[in-house]
Amino acid sequence: MAQSLAQIVPMLESALERLEKDEGSASDFVFIDTQLNRLRTRYRENPKEFEPHLSDLKVIRERHESWLISNSRLLVDWYYDINEQLSSLEEQKTSIRKHFIDQAKLSRATGDVVIDGARHVIRVRQILGRSVPLANSPERSELEEIITSAGRWEQVGGLNKARLQSAMKKGLFSQEQTDLIEQLCPLRPVHQVSIKPRENAE
């Protein structure tokens, strides 16, 4: 259920006040920006709902725009920090994912390997997938030339492996082109890692 404007307006004012006092964060900026965009859509659907709050919202929007003009450098730094955090999280995710795959390989199981957590369950599945040549290699250039000459570059999404496999299954390449692609992109075992909430989680 959507929050009432009587609830949203004070929350916007508090977040904006923190930004103006240099006590805010990127989360405050995102909250204000997201809420103002949502309220524009909501206003078009039900303008009467906004009548008691229009003057307050106008002031909030003007203060927000003024803050944006004065703090573009801060936004740049916040964006950099967020990118750094995402890179770190991606490294952590990749390392932990590799551990699950290694654990599945060591188990020598013939089917899916299920790894229980306290609140979630990891499932590791081995399938056969196409390997794509490394970027800037002669094999990669040859593969790109084959796909481009067939007029299928957009269908494979810039050499997305899943899309390439799908395009081959649909017969979008000639037999000669398919044979060449299969040579350049042999089938190899790959692992899919999925996660879902555990039933009866602790």
Residue entry with tokens 């002031």: 59
Q: How far apart are CA 168 and CA 181, in angstroms?
A: 9
Write out the chain's pLDDT in tens, 202 residues: 678 999 999 999 999 999 999 999 999 999 999 999 999 999 999 999 999 999 999 999 999 999 999 999 999 999 999 999 999 999 999 999 999 999 998 887 778 999 999 999 999 998 888 888 988 899 999 999 999 999 999 888 778 888 898 999 999 999 999 999 999 999 888 899 999 998 865 5
What long-range pairs does 155-162 form, CB within 8 A, spacing at least 24?
159/132, 161/129, 161/130, 161/131, 161/132, 161/185, 162/129
The pLDDT assigned to 201 comes to 52
Residue 120's contacts (CB-CB under 8 Å, 6 or more residues apart) are 195, 196, 197, 198, 201
Residue 63's contacts (CB-CB under 8 Å, 6 or more residues apart) are 16, 20
The pLDDT assigned to 47 comes to 94
Could you tell me if 101 and 193 are in contact, meaning their C-beta atoms sit under 8 angstroms apart? yes
The pLDDT assigned to 1 comes to 66
Residue 150's contacts (CB-CB under 8 Å, 6 or more residues apart) are 172, 173, 174, 177
Q: How far apart are CA 8 and CA 164, in angstroms?
A: 47
The pLDDT assigned to 26 comes to 96
Q: Where are the beta strands (DSSP E) in the chain?
A: 113-116, 120-130, 187-197
* E strand or H helix that includes residue 60: helix 54-70
Taking the whole predicted model, whether its pTM rises above 0.95 is answered as: no
Q: How far apart are CA 113 and CA 43, in angstroms?
A: 50
Per residue, the 3-state secondary structure of 124-183, as one string, reads EEEEEEECCCCCCCHHHHHHHHHHHHCCCCCCCCCCCHHHHHHHHHCCCCCHHHHHHHHH
Residue entry with tokens 């078009």: 44
Nearest partner of 62 among 35, 36, 34, judged by Cα: 36
The pLDDT assigned to 176 comes to 94
